[in-house]
């Protein structure tokens, strides 16, 4: 009897995941909702024009500041990505960027929009992935744009910390951009001071 009980207990532990928490999309809004992010990002364009950019991104209350680190020919160009679009600056010159109808699918605004998806979006699909011995969670976000274009983002998060590792971005089924995220750091937003009730 004791052996049967031990076998049943071992089976329960095996099939229940040994108490490990199961991923639910709501966990993302809880983790990212009241935090600001910083990361180093490598974005590679695909399709007709191949280019690789290394970017530094820091999220502040007023928007995400992105600085091009490489290639050297465009290093130092900065962008501010916010709710009202993208503004690009270099030295003393600043201009509004004319981003495509599909925001979040260019090297400069991909990371800020991935953060927005993690905070506010709900993935169409999700599952587990193991790559190089590292467990991950794969999310798929689908977006329909006013011009009829359909966007799809495949985002890989670390299974333990739910931090973004990489993403593949598609427009109308074609791979447009791959993003690798390094040195990711989340910090809590500063609480907003409120006036006491009279």
DSSP 43-105: EEE-SS--EEEEEEEEEETTEEEEEEEESGGGTT-EEEEETTEEEEEETTEEEE----SSTT-
Between 14-23, 51-60, 68-77, 99-108, the lowest mean confidence (pLDDT) is in 14-23
Examine residue 187 and state whether it is found in any structural domain, yes or no.
Answer: no
Count the domains in the chain. Answer: 1
Radius of gyration of the chain (CA): 20
Could you read off the pLDDT of 152-198 as tens digits, one per residue? Answer: 999 999 999 999 999 999 999 999 999 999 999 999 988 766 666 66
Tell me, yes or no, whether 194 lies in a domain.
no
Answer left, alpha or beta for residue 172, where phi above 0 means left and psi between -120 and 50 means alpha.
left
Assess if residue 188 is contained within a domain.
no
CATH code for the domain of 129: 2.50.20
- pTM score, two decimals? 0.81
Instruction: Kindly state whether residue 162 falls inside one of the protein's structural domains.
Output: yes
Structural domain for 148, as ranges: 23-182
Q: What does the DSSP 8-state code read for residue 26?
A: H
């Amino acid at each position: 009897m004791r052996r049967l009980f031990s076998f049943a207990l071992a089976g329960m532990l095996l099939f229940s995941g040994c108490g490990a928490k199961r991923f639910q999309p709501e966990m993302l809004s809880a983790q990212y909702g009241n935090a600001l992010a910083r990361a180093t990002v490598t974005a590679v364009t695909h399709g007709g024009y191949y280019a690789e950019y290394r970017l530094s991104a820091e999220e502040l209350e007023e928007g995400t500041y992105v600085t091009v680190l490489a290639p050297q020919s465009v290093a130092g160009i900065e962008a501010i990505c916010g709710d009202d679009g993208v503004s690009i600056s270099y030295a003393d010159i600043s201009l509004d960027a004319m981003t495509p109808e599909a925001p979040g699918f260019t090297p400069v605004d991909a990371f800020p929009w991935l953060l927005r998806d993690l905070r506010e979006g709900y993935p169409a699909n999700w599952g587990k992935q193991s790559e190089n011995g590292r467990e991950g969670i794969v999310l798929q976000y689908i977006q329909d744009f006013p011009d009829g274009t359909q966007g799809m983002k495949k985002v890989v998060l670390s299974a333990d910390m739910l931090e973004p590792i990489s993403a593949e971005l598609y427009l109308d089924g074609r791979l447009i951009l791959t993003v690798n995220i390094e040195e990711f750091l989340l910090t809590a937003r500063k609480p907003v001071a409120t006036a006491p009730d009279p």
